[in-house]
């Protein structure tokens, strides 16, 4: 079953308020500034990954594969994951933003600048997204649920509206 849009908006409003209350929004803003990625996109990824919670996730065979707010992958950033602590969100947001920026840069170097593709690459890898697009397929073809990029962009749009309201920022 798909969530209604109003349910998603209510959930994301709660997530946004919680991120503000925990003091994490400045971490997202700094990471956005450092990477050139929209803060709303970073929030969209964090929302899809953890509902903007600082947790370990994706337990497989007794090993966690995702760490922190952005669920940084142990295979991509093992040093970060080894030193991650539950009480510290800033490093996770920064590391996740750097990973996302790297995937954006990889795809941009190959002529792909679509944010849906960039978001999908965070989940399934930039090589998989590039091969999907090259084959004429949707970049979400190999993502979790087959909709990761689409869902992150829907969340990004909602977060843009929330930022315009709560942070007095123009919408992207």
Q: Is the pLDDT of residue 6 over 90?
A: no
Q: How many angstroms separate the CA atoms of 113 and 135, rounded?
A: 17
Entry pTM:
0.93
pLDDT, one tens digit per residue, over 121-164 is: 999 999 999 999 999 999 999 999 999 999 999 999 999 999 88
- Give the per-residue SS3 of 39-104: HHHHHHHHHHHHCCCCCEEEEECCEEEEECCCCEECCCCHHHHHHCCCCCCHHHHHHHHHHHHHHH
pLDDT, one tens digit per residue, over 17-71 is: 999 999 999 999 999 999 999 999 999 999 999 999 999 998 899 988 899 999 9
């Amino acid at each position: 079953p798909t969530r209604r849009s109003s349910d998603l908006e209510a959930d994301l409003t709660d997530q946004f308020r919680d991120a503000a209350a925990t003091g994490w929004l400045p971490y997202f803003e700094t990471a956005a500034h450092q990477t050139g990625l929209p803060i709303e996109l970073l929030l969209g990824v964090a929302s899809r990954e953890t509902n903007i919670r600082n947790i370990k996730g994706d337990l497989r065979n007794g090993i966690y594969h995702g760490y922190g707010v952005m669920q940084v992958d142990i295979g991509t950033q093992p040093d970060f994951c080894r030193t991650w602590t539950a009480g510290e969100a800033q490093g996770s947001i920064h590391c996740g933003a750097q990973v996302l920026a790297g995937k954006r840069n990889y795809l941009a170097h190959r002529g792909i600048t679509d944010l849906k593709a960039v978001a999908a690459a965070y989940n399934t890898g930039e090589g998989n997204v590039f091969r999907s697009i090259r084959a004429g397929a949707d970049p979400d073809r190999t993502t979790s649920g087959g909709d990761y990029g689409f869902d992150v962009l829907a969340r990004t749009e909602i977060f843009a509206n929330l930022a315009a309201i709560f942070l007095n920022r123009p919408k992207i």
